[in-house]
Amino acid sequence: MSRALRGPAAVVTGIGLLTPLGRGVDRVLGALLAGRSGLVRPPADHPVAGWLTEAGIAPPVAGTEVLPATETRCVDRFVLMALAAADDALAEAKLMVGQNADPHRVAVVLGTGGGGLETYEAQALRREQRGRPAVSPYLLPGMLSNMAAARIAIKYGIRGYSSAPVTACAAGAQAVAEALRLIRADEADVVVCGGTDSSLHPTVAAAFTNSRALASGWGDPGEASRPFDRRRNGFVLGEGAGVLVVERAEHAAARGAAGYAELLGWGASTDAHHPTMPRPDGAGAADAVRAALRSAGLAAADIDYVNAHGTGTRLGDRAEAAALRAVFGADGPAVSSTKGATGHLLGAAGAVEAAISVLALAGGVLPPTANLDEPDPECELDHVRTAARRGPVRAVLSNSFAFGGHNLSLVFGPPPTPVAKHPVGEPS
């Protein structure tokens, strides 16, 4: 499929990451390539201490770091993390709204799974204990799911389209897909997109624990997240934010901006099967992958790497492996799940993993799946394990699947901009 048929090219010119592996492109990529884990036992002063034995805790973000002091009242952590990641992404892209980008032609799409659950719960407890006067008047602008997108738009004077997908663990990836739709429809020149989630508080931890979805029985927190491994027994709950600046290639070239990769296509599908469990045969996931390839104008053989959703659950990993084999055959591309090192970042996962996929493409190095000591025979794939794998990468696929049966796949290829970015990662 020609680019003319696909529409205008969309290039990733900036990335901001706040994850359990640290903050920033070099730190996160360096940790992944060195095989370091970001999973820890929550310290005694953390809200989930005693509720979780392992968690993926992102670096702290003070309200005054990302907002004026007068605007920090009752702002949920999911918003603060999104602002920090957006600050980094826009700075790296050297994008200045109102100077080298028309505010009305810049959009912001920031997804989340749960929004400000921690803030809501804290204020509900205040109401129960002390009555109506104790509830903050800033509750709603502090915790509504659209507030990450709204705060970014307010801070940077973004006047174009704004949206907040809430498709659970596919939300971040859906936001990135929305960026491509907006650029191809000529509704934006630049889209600030991604995902953010902060769910490390007791009620969410209790719910996931009681549903038996979380990994358990591991003495070392760094060993608990084991995508595709025979001994996996659940995922590790994490938090974070990932923001990408996706820009019309001509717009980026005109201002001399370098690109990491081109966002070539996306595909979506719905399992229509169960509120929490995927179709065992992976048919819904395979539909999304095939749709992404069609959107990108690529054949299955053109994909050299897949960043899998791979959470470390029995059913989910097997369904995704089945989907990948159905699309790519027995000799498919290299596959890894970076959740082995980060845990599951819920609504932020799709954006963070899309960014990691972009970095793998741009740097020509594939991150390994942590803790994949003994691959499950039912998850047979070309797993990248024990160490990073280097070599030319033509195109990459990033998968995100969610409760409710939402499936989203993204495809990236080399950037069409004259200048390309080549991340190397912070030395270990």
Three-state secondary structure of the chain: CCHHHHCCCEEEEEEEEEECCEECHHHHHHHHHHCCCCEECCCCCCCCECCECCEECCCCCCHHHHCCHHHCCCCCHHHHHHHHHHHHHHHHHCCCECCCECHHHEEEEEECCCCCHHHHHHHHHHHHHHCHHHCCCCHHHHHCCCHHHHHHHHHHCCCCCEECCCCHHHHHHHHHHHHHHHHHCCCCCEEEEEEEECCCCHHHHHHHHHCCCECCCCCCHHHCCCCCECCCCCECEECEEEEEEEEEHHHHHHCCCCECEEEEEEEEEECCCCCCCCCCCCHHHHHHHHHHHHHHCCCHHHCCEEECCCCCCHHHHHHHHHHHHHHHCCCCCEEECCHHHHCECHHHHHHHHHHHHHHHHHHCEECCECCCCCECHHHCCEECECCCEECCCCCEEEEEEECCCEEEEEEEECCCCCCECCCCCCCC
Mean pLDDT of 156-185: 98
What is residue 57's predicted lDDT score, i.e. its pLDDT?
A: 98
Q: Which of 193, 201, 251, 344 is catalytic?
A: 344
**Digit-coded pLDDT (tens) for 241-263:** 999 999 999 999 999 999 999 99
* 409 or 278, which is more confident: 409
Rounded CA gap, 8 and 183, in Å?
Answer: 7
**Digit-coded pLDDT (tens) for 206-219:** 999 999 999 999 99
What is residue 424's predicted lDDT score, i.e. its pLDDT?
A: 67
* 6 or 274, which is more confident: 274
R_g (Cα) of the chain, nearest Å: 20
Q: Is the pLDDT of residue 427 over 90?
A: no
Q: Is the pLDDT of residue 2 over 70?
A: no
What is residue 420's predicted lDDT score, i.e. its pLDDT?
A: 80
Nearest to 327 by CA among 302, 352, 310: 302
For domain 3-413, say whether CATH 3.40.47.10 is its number.
yes
**Digit-coded pLDDT (tens) for 132-154:** 999 999 999 989 999 999 999 99
User: How many CB atoms are closer than 10 A to CB 105?
Assistant: 20
What is residue 426's predicted lDDT score, i.e. its pLDDT?
A: 61
Rounded CA gap, 229 and 401, in Å?
Answer: 19
Q: Is the pLDDT of residue 39 over 60?
A: yes
Res. 419 pLDDT band, cuts 50 70 90: confident
Q: Which of 74, 193, 201, 309 is catalytic?
A: 309
What is residue 418's predicted lDDT score, i.e. its pLDDT?
A: 73
**Integer angstrom CA distances of residue 9 from 174, 185, 413:** 18, 11, 11
What is residue 98's predicted lDDT score, i.e. its pLDDT?
A: 97
What is residue 269's predicted lDDT score, i.e. its pLDDT?
A: 97
What is residue 7's predicted lDDT score, i.e. its pLDDT?
A: 78
What is residue 428's predicted lDDT score, i.e. its pLDDT?
A: 45
Query: Are 410 and 306 in contact, with CB atoms under 8 Å apart?
Result: no
Cβ within 8 Å of residue 248, ≥6 positions away: 8, 9, 10, 11, 183, 188, 189, 190
Tell me what the pLDDT averaged over the chain comes to: 95
Q: Which of 169, 251, 379, 406 is catalytic?
A: 169
Q: Is the pLDDT of residue 100 over 70?
A: yes
**Digit-coded pLDDT (tens) for 362-402:** 999 999 999 999 999 999 999 999 999 998 899 999 999 99
What is residue 1's predicted lDDT score, i.e. its pLDDT?
A: 52
Mean pLDDT of 340-356: 98
Q: Is 344 noted as a catalytic residue in this protein? A: yes
Mean pLDDT of 71-82: 95
Q: Is 383 noted as a catalytic residue in this protein? A: no
Sign (positive or negative) of CA dihedral 346, 352, 353, 354: positive
Phi, psi of 266 (to 5 degrees): -150, 160
Mean pLDDT of 92-109: 98
Q: Is 169 noted as a catalytic residue in this protein? A: yes
Of the chain, the percentage scoring pLDDT greater than 70 comes to 98
